[in-house]
Chain A
Amino acid sequence: AQKVTQAQTEISVVEKEDVTLDCVYETRDTTYYLFWYKQPPSGELVFLIRRNSFDEQNEISGRYSWNFQKSTSSFNFTITASQVVDSAVYFCALSEVGSGTYKYIFGTGTRLKVLA
């Protein structure tokens, strides 16, 4: 069965600290996609990144970076030099291509608080 675990319920850091949000997934499918979304206090869900199961290259976008490791079924998200505006709930999601449904399974989210 497919499952996404975000074990960190809430993290608090001081501005300019680096922080890593963990995401561990379970799937029996060999082809799948992983996603990260940000939900700021205003409530909308903002897409951050998509990664397919055949692409294990790490990605960096400004202060954001993602580390995908199939060996440990993890897709972790690091924010470098965090800022107050990074305060939000971050969701990791999995979608199995083999199911043909394009459904997402979301983790329970990690609430990040960046203190000034």
Chain B
Amino acid sequence: DAGVIQSPRHEVTEMGQEVTLRCKPISGHNSLFWYRQTMMRGLELLIYFNNNVPIDDSGMPEDRFSAKMPNASFSTLKIQPSEPRDSAVYFCASTNVGGAYNEQFFGPGTRLTVL
């Protein structure tokens, strides 16, 4: 079974451009998480969805960041306009939240560089 799929794996863009990161969770999972990893701040949770509904977006740094989950098999994280300080690795993770408490499975990440 395929794991969490993220695209692109690498993105280099210029300051001010719009960036869209994509994630396909593991089939059957009902919760999806977006994280950002930097040397300075470590792993930070940005937002998470349960059954396609955003539950907690308190980690989204500012209005330039937005995330959507139009269906159970796809989510996007958009940064508009991008800034150099947004450079980081962005991870998507999914899990099945229900009677049992399950671990999150992470995608390979998208390495974003904003020049």
Give A residues with C-beta under 8 Å from B: 33, 35, 37, 43-47, 50, 52, 91, 95, 97, 101-104, 106-109
Q: Is the CB of B42 within 8 A of A108?
A: yes
Look across to chain B and name the residue whose beta carbon is closest to the beta carbon of A101.
Answer: B56
Q: B residues bordering A, Cβ < 8 Å?
A: 31, 33, 42-43, 45, 48, 50, 55-56, 89, 91, 93, 95, 97, 101-109, 111
Q: Could you tell me the distance in whole angstroms from the C-beta of B91 to the nearest C-beta in chain A? A: 7
Known contacts A33-B101, A35-B103, A47-B103; A102 and B109 CB within 8 A of each other:
no
- Is B43 within 8 A of A106, CB to CB? yes
Contacting residues, chain B, for A52 (C-beta < 8 A) = 101
A43 touches B42 (CB 8 A): no
- Report yes or no: A44 in contact with B108, Cβ–Cβ below 8 A: yes
- The listed residue with most B CB atoms (<10 A of its CB), out of A33, A103, A108, is A103
| Cβ contacts under 8 Å, B93 to chain A | 45
Residues of B within 8 A of A46 (CB): 106
Contact (Cβ within 8 A) A106 B31: no
> Which residue among B48, B50, B105, B106 has the maximum number of chain A CB atoms within 10 Å of its CB?
B106
Q: Given the complex of chains A and B, what is the CA–CA distance between A2 and B2 in angstroms?
A: 33
Partner of B56, one of A33, A103, A108: A103
**Please, how many angstroms separate the alpha-carbon atoms of A33 and B91 in the complex?**
21
Nearest CB of chain A from residue B64's CB, rounded to whole Å: 22
A64 to B89, CA, bound (A): 28
Given contact pairs A50-B103, A97-B101, enumerate 13 new A-B contacts (beta carbons under 8 Å). Answer: A45-B109, A47-B105, A47-B106, A95-B101, A101-B48, A102-B31, A102-B48, A102-B97, A103-B56, A104-B45, A104-B104, A109-B42, A109-B43
| CB-based closest 10 A-B pairs | A45-B106, A106-B43, A50-B103, A47-B103, A44-B108, A108-B42, A102-B97, A33-B101, A43-B109, A101-B56
Q: Known interface pairs A97-B101, A102-B95, A109-B42. Does A43 touch B89 (Cβ–Cβ under 8 Å)? A: yes
Q: Please indicate which of the listed interface residues A50, A104, A106, A109 has the most CB atoms of chain B within 10 Å of its own CB.
A: A104
